[in-house]
Chains A and B, each alone.
Chain A
Amino acid sequence: MIQLTNVSKIYPNGAKALADVSLRIGKGEFVFLVGPSGAGKSTLIRLLYREEHPSRGLVSFNGQNLVRMKEREVPFLRRKIGVIFQDFKLLPRKTVRENVGFALEVLGLQRHEVAVRAEKALELVGLTKKLKAFPHQLSGGEQQRVCVARAIVNDPALLMADEPTGNLDPDTSWEIMDLLHNINKKGTTVVMATHAKDIVDQMKKRVVAIEQGRIARDDEKGGYGYEL
């Protein structure tokens, strides 16, 4: 489903984020991306939903070449990919329900269907009591959950998460992990960048470690592997 071939990424300021990375992720997999901060995990995720272009190499998703993809096709790519952003990226002037519904509005769905499905997604993350709240009225953890709900509301083929448990207490973190696990069981591919050692160690999923822009380790049913 995802294929990176000899991908390098150097940002305009000269920072080398990825160096000659090749990686294959199949449909239905659950993959943890681990590694020190600044190793290139977030860059890898950004390449996949086409927020960034690789400096060299090939990125493809479902057989589509993302490097040569036309600007007007990008929205259609992003509609197939749910992203849980590190900084949530919620629309500040929209309510919780509107934020989640926005991922459906862009598909041109009817207002009623948008509302019903948004509420369903918010039920999954346990936020039904704050449908009409604005993001700034929520705690960090609640905002995180809104972001999760928005990422899963349109049943994406690929769900990517950049530190989805970074701002959450352990209990809520596990709730989110259960959610991702269940979504994965229904067939959605999940790629998650994280520093949460205990989660990685307990889940026994594929672990790809990235260090200084290179893949240092790629284990099936691996562990976090770094001492904290």
Chain B
Amino acid sequence: MSFSSAKYVLRETLSSVKRNLWLSIASVMTVMVSLIILGFSAFFLANTSNVAQSFESQVEISAFVHTNVPETQVQALETKIKAMPGVSSVVLVTKAQGLAQFGQSLGKAGGNLVSDLAGTNPLPDKFTIKATDPRRVQTLADQLRQFTELKSVRYGQGVVDRLLQFTRWLRWMGAGVIIAFGAAAVVLISINIKMNVFSRRREIQIMKLVGASNWFIRWPFLVEGLFLGLAGGILAAILVGTGYNWLAGYVSSTLAFLPVVRSTWLFWQVQTSLLVLGMVIGAAGSALSLRKFLNV
């Protein structure tokens, strides 16, 4: 494309936007609304999967040591458990710590209880073990039961299964929401572009009859679609960005137990995707809708 035709394309695009101002605004709005929905779905997906992960990471195994096992052996056991595959963390809660915690958890009455016990400690040493993958908790527990030093190994058997079911569902729902709204966005935008091109099919036909090549007609449409898509993308990115920041702040101040994703990386990733998507959908949509009208 030569310099003078590049200038032609830009002039043509600008004058087309100016002379079809309302249709252009409608296109920008359509792209914007679709991308806002898509942007929020992306954040929704990120958050559901984050909630699922944080629930899963709370799954832990409690392993209690026989009270007669000496301290050195307990420490040796700790290193052995740490070396096991699939173990992400091991925390040793000794008898003394356990008793102190127990006392605290009872509040005022606890202080009396601990002093009443007068130096005797009925609690065993306890390991709190986390698995790298919550689905491996069961096998890990079975392996732990092989250690003779351990009196009992416990994890929330039924609870873990149900939790895993729940988190799986949560993830599917997040993915489902983004797919559904993504499809809706594509349909909305393509209908709008088709209407735009359809309303100008007579112009396209005339241009062809006067000797315009397909690319001569396509370029201005492409660039127009690109600009309108980009405009919609920018608006959507601004609204989604401020909206999400506000919402995240609101949720974490009122529903503190819900972990909210506030990663700047994710934030900018979503923002740039919205811009790029806007441009690509705008340009590609125009080019594709033009196709059948160019055969004159």
State whether A111 touches B208 (Cβ < 8 A).
no
The interface-forming segment of A2-10, A90-98, A169-177 is A90-98
A76: nearest chain-B partner, CB-CB: B211
Query: Which residues of B are found within 8 Å of A106, using beta-carbon distances?
Result: 207, 210-213, 216
State whether A108 touches B20 (Cβ < 8 A).
no
B206 within 8 A of A: yes
Evaluate whether A89 and B209 lie within 8 angstroms (CB atoms) in the complex, with A106-B216, A111-B4, A111-B8 already known. yes
A102 within 8 A of B: yes
A103 within 8 A of B: yes
CB neighbors of A among B188-205 (8 A): 202-203, 205
Evaluate whether A83 and B209 lie within 8 angstroms (CB atoms) in the complex, with A93-B19, A93-B203, A106-B216 already known. yes
B296 within 8 A of A: yes
A79 within 8 A of B: yes
A70 within 8 A of B: no
Which of the residues B4, B207, B296 comes within 8 Å of A51, measured between beta carbons?
A: B296
State whether A78 touches B210 (Cβ < 8 A).
yes
B75 within 8 A of A: no
A88 to chain B, nearest CB (A): 9
B101 to chain A, nearest CB (A): 78
B293 to chain A, nearest CB (A): 14
State whether A75 touches B19 (Cβ < 8 A).
no
Q: Is the interface of A mostly helix, strand, loop or mixed?
A: loop
Report the contact-size class of chain A (Cβ under 8 Å from the partner): 20 to 34
Q: How far is the CA of A89 from the CA of B208 in the complex (A)?
A: 11
Q: How far is the CA of A111 from the CA of B212 in the complex (A)?
A: 16
A30 within 8 A of B: no
B296: nearest chain-A partner, CB-CB: A51
CB neighbors of A among B32-70 (8 A): none
B12: nearest chain-A partner, CB-CB: A105
State whether A93 touches B209 (Cβ < 8 A).
no
A49 within 8 A of B: yes
State whether A75 touches B4 (Cβ < 8 A).
no
Q: How far is the CA of A175 from the CA of B11 in the complex (A)?
A: 35
A145 within 8 A of B: no
State whether A90 touches B206 (Cβ < 8 A).
yes
Query: Which residues of B are found within 8 Å of A91, using beta-carbon distances?
Result: 203, 206-207
Residues of B within 8 A of A (CB): 2, 4-5, 7-8, 11, 16, 19-20, 202-203, 205-214, 216, 295-296
Residues of A within 8 A of B (CB): 49, 51, 71-72, 75-76, 78-79, 83, 85, 89-93, 102-103, 105-111, 150
A-B contact pairs, 24 of them (CB 8 A): A49-B209, A51-B209, A51-B296, A72-B214, A75-B208, A75-B212, A75-B216, A76-B211, A78-B210, A85-B209, A89-B205, A90-B206, A91-B206, A91-B207, A92-B203, A103-B210, A106-B213, A106-B216, A107-B211, A109-B4, A110-B4, A111-B8, A111-B11, A150-B210
Closest 7 CB pairs of A and B: A78-B211, A79-B211, A75-B213, A106-B212, A89-B206, A106-B211, A93-B19
In addition to A85-B209, A89-B209, A109-B4, 14 A-B residue pairs with Cβ atoms within 8 Å of each other are A51-B209, A71-B295, A75-B211, A78-B209, A78-B210, A78-B211, A79-B211, A89-B210, A93-B16, A102-B212, A103-B211, A105-B8, A106-B216, A108-B5
